[in-house]
Structure 1
């Protein structure tokens, strides 16, 4: 993933899933707060049910394609050297393992939802998703590629976001009726996708901080001051993304509440009036 595309591709998947999760969670809550349940995946309504499982296919197919790129294309099929795993492509093997976990989650969830072979409750699916995020967390925390300097700082912030994904998905299994938990999960996934994009544009794109450069797939800064400026810029970018996503989540809630919540409130008031009359 040490390239612009290597960060943008998984970032796109996380961003799409995260935004969709926020939207659907808010809509489900404003429609009926009393019966709200945490869902780690959300069906696409309409289209005669043809796109119902689009999110799960996006996760399964997207992770599978990315895994094939990491495992087959990036390694050039040179898996072993002198009887051991090729040390030049250990990071590709690690990325493949992480992507395999998300592929397994997508396939297991599809089997659970579309067939009677593996019926699982939503809490179990949340724990399987948490396992995939745990694999991602361990990958970036104990990476064979030693991320140092400015690159390491960007990956440290990424690890924090992945940790939030782990905690929120586990909390979804423990508190299945909590709207804040469901919303936190969507926000964490969205932020992870955006931070992948931010890392791509900063370290491998046009937003490289002054005094730092990319040379031979390594980020280096000319001085300590240059690295500190880069880390301060990363803090500002991180804060801006968090603030932007929170503002977008609040705006989504206000919009959905005005669009879907008014009719729901009228129904609740009618029911309450009938109960009072009786």
Structure 2
């Protein structure tokens, strides 16, 4: 069983990284489509380069802080009970494994970019990021905390979004010049962050569906019909988030094209218009 804070914290990290990825991908593409390359992380411009690696620091430090909360604070260091792994904290240990992988990705990327000890191409960093997403996927798919009913449905939708993160990141390693792939990666990460928020507010906050309730760390519904209505509401919530993100992406593209659009971009659009007319 999770908690409101336990979903909001990782959701915030994914949301910040995803939104920044979308904006950076759009700006880099409209700036010069011919030189566009997929990036698994995006530097922050300006400030004399002092914030260039802010995204990687956010991933590494954020994952490390969340790791410490799951591994040290939530477990109270009671890893063993009666000579075996403490069953009360297996979910915390699983979360720690997931967070460790994102911390390793952030650390490896920083070492690759800032030192000469681990020079890795962008494709390799994409595969390392995909490995972290894969561990997250396996965690939520084979969770020791059995997700059933409405709670299970919300986590099933989360697993689907994580799968989209894996596919888009892996594809980026093999199609390093594809703008749609890079943009899809940012959209998937953003949706994952938003869905963490949606799960927190629905299952552990004020948006609990009518006929369902949270009691003794369990989500229960008055009847099967109430549970089905909750699942239909989850479908509508996900659709609303997808639509909102797509509208925001189109808006960001329009803004970026008007401010940073390269002449090459206009020529590509002119060529495409000519092909459509033919």
**Superposition TM-score tier, normalisation by shorter sequence:** over 0.9
Alignment RMSD: 1.2
Q: Aligned partners of 1:244, 1:82: CA distance in 2, in Å?
A: 50
Give structure 1 stretches of 5+ with no counterpart: 270-278
- Map 1:1-278 to 2 at 5 A: 2-261=2-261, 264-265=262-263
For residues 71-113 of structure 1, what are the alpha-carbon distances to aligned partners after superposition, in whole Å with 9 as ceiling and x for unaligned? 0011010011122211110000000000000000000000000
For normalisation by structure 2, the TM-score amounts to 0.94
Aligned residues: 267
Check whether the contact 2:30–2:265 (CA below 8 A) recurs between aligned residues. Answer: no
Moved over 4 A (4+): 266-269
Task: Tell me the SS of whatever aligns to 2:181.
Answer: helix
How far apart are 1:268 and its partner, in Å?
8.4
Q: Aligned partners of 2:172, 2:28: CA distance in 1, in Å?
A: 15
How far apart are 1:240 and its partner, in Å?
0.2
Q: Aligned partners of 1:217, 1:6: CA distance in 2, in Å?
A: 13
How far apart are 1:266 and its partner, in Å?
7.6
Task: Tell me the SS of whatever aligns to 1:39.
Answer: coil
How far apart are 1:204 and its partner, in Å?
0.3
For normalisation by structure 1, the TM-score amounts to 0.94
Task: Tell me the SS of whatever aligns to 2:213.
Answer: strand
Task: Tell me the SS of whatever aligns to 1:147.
Answer: coil
For residues 158-192 of structure 1, what are the alpha-carbon distances to aligned partners after superposition, in whole Å with 9 as ceiling and x for unaligned? 00000000000000001000000000000000000
How far apart are 1:244 and its partner, in Å?
0.4
Cα 1:266–1:210 shift into 2, 3 Å:
closer
Q: Aligned partners of 2:113, 2:264: CA distance in 1, in Å?
A: 33
Cα 1:267–1:219 shift into 2, 3 Å:
closer
